[in-house]
Structure 1
Amino acid sequence: MSVFNLSNAIMGSGILGLAFALANTGILLFLVLLTSVTLLSIYSINLLLICSKETGCMVYEKLGEQVFGTTGKFVIFGATSLQNTGAMLSYLFIVKNELPSAIKFLMGKEETFSAWYVDGRVLVVIVTFGIILPLCLLKNLGYLGYTSGFSLSCMVFFLIVVIYKKFQIPCIVPELNSTISANSTNADMCTPKYVTINSKTVYALPTIAFAFVCHPSVLPIYSELKDRSQKKMQMVSNISFFAMFVMYFLTAIFGYLTFYDNVQSDLLHKYQSKDDILILTVRLAVIVAVILTVPVLFFTVRSSLFELAKKTKFNLCRHIVVTCILLVVINLLVIFIPSMKDIFGVVGVTSANMLIFILPSSLYLKITDQDGDKGTQRIWAALFLGLGVLFSLVSIPLVIYDWACSSSGDEGH
């Protein structure tokens, strides 16, 4: 059950961006990056479990507070909240991209049909305030935990459809345009590339990092583990990460081999649902799953905010006002952010990097400060911390540079 819960915590909208990451790195480079991030994530969870055992803390924020005081608590709150907000944004982005296509199909309209009720931005606002807001206003969301199983099933269904469609959809070469040089041949366009470096390669590592973050959920799952032990929880994380590694790689490789360089940062958006019931079903399943997952993440962010402000006593007026303000801010971001790769990029180089690399290694180094027996482990943890800092120093300027150079119309959304 813990493996199932942790796998669900890892699995998210990041899976939709992996084929885009692969298209901009090539198969071999992508496999190296995916394997590296998987192994590094497993190591960071090992550090987190050691810190938890040493301090007796089962809550990430409290662990930060115990080791680094109020600053630690604020930093961990910031990183986990940004990660959860990024996940909510990417989920609502799926609604913005996919719901119009599903509605057009159900109405029997052409893909080019446009009206206000098939405008993704309008639909996001309707879904947010018609479905998500009432769920977010509830005092507790215990029953919504059951949707996590449904969410995971939808993503498995999505993977099966991606593999099946690879053998159904022929390689399509688009009309020659500014992005394809005149001497590009059909054979070139439909040949898999093993190593690729271009301006979008910078998004690959943040997207993969974003797809593997589950660190805020590790300690709660650990605390509920039967006959709890560090070794047993490490085994749970190893199995979960291996399962997700296989699922992520299969989705990315089959998505890429279907569309090659034409793949988008939201893989699902590339499949045309015109006269295709299977694609429509997978679209609707993923839409329902993400709509029901948003309140669960929202609840976590809001309760952390109240905890931080020391306003833990329930107050209906404050509850409603804070909920509405947060949802309005999230909606504005979804409406104005041009594509999902920007969400994956920003969250990947900031909070995902903090949660995977910087925080677990910093906590470990601080806790084992006085312990002379842990010399070798401390060297590894220090190198791990250095890797996280290096990742930030390299990725953040490159993502900013790409924003400055590319126009917002790049993605075709």
Structure 2
Amino acid sequence: MVSSFFNLTNAIVGAGVIGLPYAMRQAGLLVGVLLVVALAGIVDWTLRVLAYCAKLSGRSSYQGMVEYCFGKPGLVANSFFQGAMAGGGMASFIVIVGDTLPHVLSALMPSVSKTGFGAVVFSRRFVIAFFVICMAYPLSLYRDIGKLGKTSAFAVVAMCTIIVSVIIEGPQIDPDLRASPGTPIALANPGFFQAVGVITFAFVCHHNSFMIYGSLKKPTLNRYFDVIHMSTVIAGIASLVMAVSGYMFFKDKTHGNILNNFPQDNFLINIARFLFALNMITTFPMETLVAREVIDSLFFRDRDFSMRRHVVITTALCLAGLIIGETVCNLGVLLELTGGMSASFLAFILPSGCYLRLSSAPKLSLKMIPHWLCIAFGFTVMILSTVLSIKNAASNRNPVASCWL
């Protein structure tokens, strides 16, 4: 249960947590706090709905459960969104490593970075290749997500350190980098759906949940529900602290990545950046396991396990993430589009849809109202997120920057 707790908490408090202060800026302090609490509660509820549906369907994977409920079309749709979510997560984690670690290493060892050797070793391409090949790839070869419990424990501790660093350094940095003293605290802003998209991306872990459930030595619903409650409470508290403190320090100057609000030579924040990059490396294998499972269920479901196939698929997935990370500096609207659509579909639409399909209760009874509302909410967020992403891409002259130009 301890390993499952750390894995699930790590899956929730992932890369999206550093964008929560920006979500608070978009929605306003009061509305933002309500959104974080409400979405944490919805995630807790839908994770339990998924586990209950797995019990009703007798299936041990997200794809298998959706196929049981909706047949081949459901399996294809689920695989697409689940694969897009996992693939987008893998790519974004590698890009974050490339955007973070070279600057940290140069700041920690400035004399080395100025030499020819340091210019190569601290370069973005070399750092990405080293950490993917030497750290992310070996961890991704694990078949059992329970084996990642220790790395997930480190990731959770690292994320807490990042939050503490922001709280400590926020009041001490140059006042010119913070919001002016007279800037009011906005309680409500018009960027509601943008904030929902950011928070949803930060909290969604449903595509990991079945493997975490299966990693329990005694996978009973009550034990798993305890893990869900503990993880969502801890993740919700950490998210609230990060979101509120980051927004209160910078207000209208809050960046999409809160760490970018701090100067490059801030020692404690550079430690936080370093830990955040390592956090991405330890979270990367969890997304690889999901993407590999999607491929296996679609193309090799009727075949016995093959170590050769396992290694080939894992290598191909890591290589694809490495190529994207080496090529693209900012995934921009691509990840925003795939992440927003996939997160809404996996977290809000499918769990309630499967429950409506499996439950023997009348579909229009009072018991089903929360599920219909959750589906409607999911479609609303997914459509608006898509429209806003396309609109932002159309208004941006260079939405996806290349590192080779």
Q: Please classify the TM superposition score into its range, dividing by the shorter chain length.
A: 0.7 to 0.9
Secondary structure at 1:208 match in 2: helix
In the alignment, which of 381, 391, 405 is matched to residue 401 of structure 1? Answer: 391
**One-letter amino acid of the counterpart of residue 170, structure 2:** K
From 48, 53, 56, the equivalent of 1:54 is 56
On the 8 A contact 1:14/1:344 being kept in 2, the answer is no
Equivalent runs, 1:130-279 vs 2, <5 Å: 130-136=134-140, 143-172=147-176, 186-188=180-182, 190-197=183-190, 202-223=193-214, 230-231=221-222, 233-274=224-265, 276-279=266-269
Pairwise CA distance, 1:76 = 2.6
**Separation in structure 1 between the aligned mates of residue 230 and residue 140 of structure 2, nearest angstrom:** 32
**What is residue 181 of structure 1 aligned with on the other side?**
none
Q: Percent same amino acid among aligned pairs? A: 25
CA drift at 1:158:
0.8
The change in CA–CA distance for 1:245 and 1:292 in structure 2 (over 3 A counts) is: closer
Which range moves more in the overlay, 138-147 or 164-173? 138-147
Contact 1:349 1:395 (C-alpha < 8 Å) held by counterparts = yes
Q: Partner of 1:77: helix, strand, or coil? A: helix
Q: Check whether the contact 1:79–1:351 (CA below 8 A) recurs between aligned residues.
A: yes
Deviation at 1:99, TM superposition (A): 0.8
2:208 touches 2:290 (CA, 8 Å); kept in 1? no
CA distance in 2, matches of 1:229, 1:29: 36
Alpha-carbon shift at residue 338 of structure 1 (Å): 5.3
TM-score normalised to structure 1 length: 0.83
Cα distance in 1 for partners of 2:71, 2:399 equals 45
Q: Distance in 1 between matches of 2:222 and 2:159?
A: 29
Alignment partner of 2:172: what SS? coil
Mapping 1:360-371, distance limit 5 Å: 360-368=351-359, 370-371=360-361
Aligned Cα RMSD in Å?
3.4
Q: Unpaired runs of 5+ in structure 1?
A: 175-184
Cα distance in structure 1, aligned partners of 2:18 and 2:383: 26
Determine if the alignment matches structure 1 residue 383 to structure 2 residue 373: yes
- Is the partner of 1:272 in helix, strand or coil? coil
Within 1, Cα distance between the matches of 2:44 and 2:145?
29
Kindly tell me: are residues 70 and 373 of structure 1, through their superposed partners in 2, closer, same or farther at Cα, counting changes over 3 Å?
A: closer
How far is the alpha carbon of 1:63 from its aligned partner? 1.2
- The residue that corresponds to 1:178 in the other structure is none
Separation (CA, whole Å) in 1 of partners of 2:367 and 2:195: 29
Give the corresponding residue for 2:18: 16
Q: 1:216 to 1:287 in 2, by over 3 A?
A: same
What do residues 252-288 of structure 1 show as CA deviations (whole Å, max 9, x unaligned)? 12122233333322222333352x4322322222222
Distance of 1:42 and 1:138 partners within structure 2 = 27
Report the AA paired with residue 254 of structure 2: V
Task: Quote the offset at 1:358 in angstroms.
Answer: 0.8
Taking structure 1 as reference, are residues 312 and 251 closer, same or farther at Cα in structure 2, changes over 3 Å only?
A: farther
More displaced, 121-130 or 163-172? 121-130
Instruction: Say how many residue pairs are matched.
Output: 396
1:284 to 270, 274, 277: 274
User: Is 2:306 the counterpart of 1:314?
Assistant: yes
Which residue pairs with 1:67 in the alignment? 69
Which deviations, in whole Å up to 9, do the C-alpha atoms of 1:136-171 show, x marking residues without a partner?
457777644421111111001111111111232243
Q: 1:87-166 counterparts in 2 under 5 A?
A: 87-108=89-110, 115=119, 117-136=121-140, 143-166=147-170
- Name the CA distance, whole Å, in 1 between partners of 2:168 and 2:61: 42
Cα distance, 1:324–1:6 mapped onto 2, change above 3 Å? closer
The verdict on how the C-alpha distance between 1:20 and 1:115 changes in structure 2, with shifts beyond 3 A counting, is farther
Q: Note if contact 2:259-2:273 (Cα within 8 Å) is conserved in structure 1.
A: yes
Q: Specify whether residues 144 and 406 from structure 1 end up closer, same or farther in structure 2 by C-alpha distance, changes over 3 A only.
A: same
- 1:350: Cα distance to partner? 1.3
Whether contact under 8 Å (2:67, 2:75) holds in the other structure is yes
User: What CA distance in whole angstroms lies between the structure 2 residues aligned with 1:346 and 1:381?
Assistant: 25
How far apart are the structure 2 equivalents of 1:378 and 1:123? 50
User: Helix, strand or coil: the match of 2:10?
Assistant: helix
One-letter amino acid of the structure 1 residue matched with residue 263 of structure 2: Q
Distance 1:325 1:59 in 2: 22
Distance, in Å, in 2 between the alignment partners of 1:87 and 1:241 is: 20
Q: Structure 2: which 5+ runs fail to align?
A: none
CA distance in 1, matches of 2:26, 2:335: 14
Secondary structure of the residue aligned to 1:172 is helix
CA distance in 2, matches of 1:46, 1:100: 40
